[in-house]
Amino acid sequence: MQLQVTPLGTSAGRPTLVRGASALAISTATGWMMCDCGEGAQTAAQRAGLSLARLDAVLITHLHGDHFNGLPGLLGSLGLDGRERTLTVAGPPGIHEALQTLARVGALGIGPLDLKLLELSGDGGELPGLGVESGLQVSCAPLSHRIATYGYRVSLPDRAGTLDVQKALAAGVPSGPLLGHLKSGRSIRLADGRELSAQDFLGPTQKGMAVAYTLDTVPCEGAKRLGREADLLVHEATYEHARQELARLRGHTTALEAGEIARDAQAKRLLLTHFSPSVRGEELAEEASRVFAGTIAARDGEPVVLESVRGSPAPT
Ligand SMILES: [Zn+2]
């Protein structure tokens, strides 16, 4: 299995000539989800070869314009495309009112689109049923910014362990459908009346690959929780650490602090994004690498591919 993470916009506050406003795609071979939808996200997605028809959900972190302003345009385009399939939009308190207001004044038309809005509250948790085409699972948790903000964890489902066929045959399981039952995790009854539990013949469950998306925020527990042992933690790094005071004042994280969060969460890799136009992403990645070696600076349109080969040690 493969997960592809494509930054669609990596700038903080406003788009620049080389970085769009915040947006990122997480895709499987069959579908995808968008995290944040800053201005220009829909065209960036199409440039990256992503089909809007296969978009399952848009996960909005907060309602600041650089994360939200592309959403009305995207919904409008899906409406013009005549899309009827459900699109889920998850977002913080106020998202329903924001879209309703735009629709009321005539700024948002969604045609036949079946829009399902999930307005998040409290401590977040699982958001079941979103990955209709992609098969992706989603959970969320609050972050700590200047307004209500939620981060997300997007993952593939866990897979049952490998069946030890020789052991099953030796226990008297005949070749055929009963082996298939064991493989899918179901217990079976043999002709001689013995009941066999699948757990006795399966290897350990294989965790589905996971990507955490945590912006905008000051360093917080929610980001660490979402990023726990994630294959990729996508964290904001608006400024370098020398401007920590400014970062805190504006509700942001420095590159060094993002590295510390990835290290503490034992994430496998860290993708920095949400760069102030006043910084160079590569320099911020270097700064974070002092505490977390597996750090990359996001660049618009340059995907990070995650393969489900597990067992490699987490970078420190
Ligand atoms: Zn922002």
**pLDDT tens digits along 217-242:** 999 999 999 999 999 999 999 999 99
Report CA(204)–ligand 1 centroid distance (Å): 40
Q: For the chain, which domains are there? A: 2-158+206-307 (3.60.15.10), 165-200 (no CATH)
Q: How far is CA 131 from CA 7, 59, 86, 120, in A?
A: 19, 12, 11, 17
pLDDT for 218? 97
Q: How far is CA 154 from CA 58, 94, 106, 212, 231, in A?
A: 12, 23, 33, 6, 11
pLDDT digits (tens, 9 = 90+) for 90-106: 999 999 999 999 999 99
- List the shell of residues around ion ligand 1, using CB closer than 5 Å: 66, 216
- Work out the angle between the directed axes of helices 95-104 and 71-80 (0-180°, nearest 10): 60
Residues (pLDDT < 70) of the chain are 309-316
Is 273 within 8 Å of 7 (Cβ atoms)? yes
**Which tokens sit at 83?**
């899309």
| Alpha-carbon gap, residue 107 to 125, rounded angstroms | 32
Cβ neighbour number for residue 144 with a 10 Å cutoff: 16
Report CA(275)–ligand 1 centroid distance (Å): 9
| Alpha-carbon gap, residue 119 to 85, rounded angstroms | 20
Report CA(26)–ligand 1 centroid distance (Å): 19
For residue 167, the 8-state DSSP code is H
Cβ neighbors of 170 (< 8 A, separation 6 or more) are: none
Report CA(10)–ligand 1 centroid distance (Å): 10
Report CA(277)–ligand 1 centroid distance (Å): 12
Report CA(91)–ligand 1 centroid distance (Å): 14
**Which tokens sit at 10?**
């990596």
Report CA(175)–ligand 1 centroid distance (Å): 57
Is 14 within 8 Å of 2 (Cβ atoms)? no
Catalytic residues: 66
What is Dmax (Cα atoms) for the chain?
74
pLDDT for 314? 40
pLDDT for 184? 86
Report CA(214)–ligand 1 centroid distance (Å): 11
pLDDT for 309? 61
**Which tokens sit at 291?**
């505490």
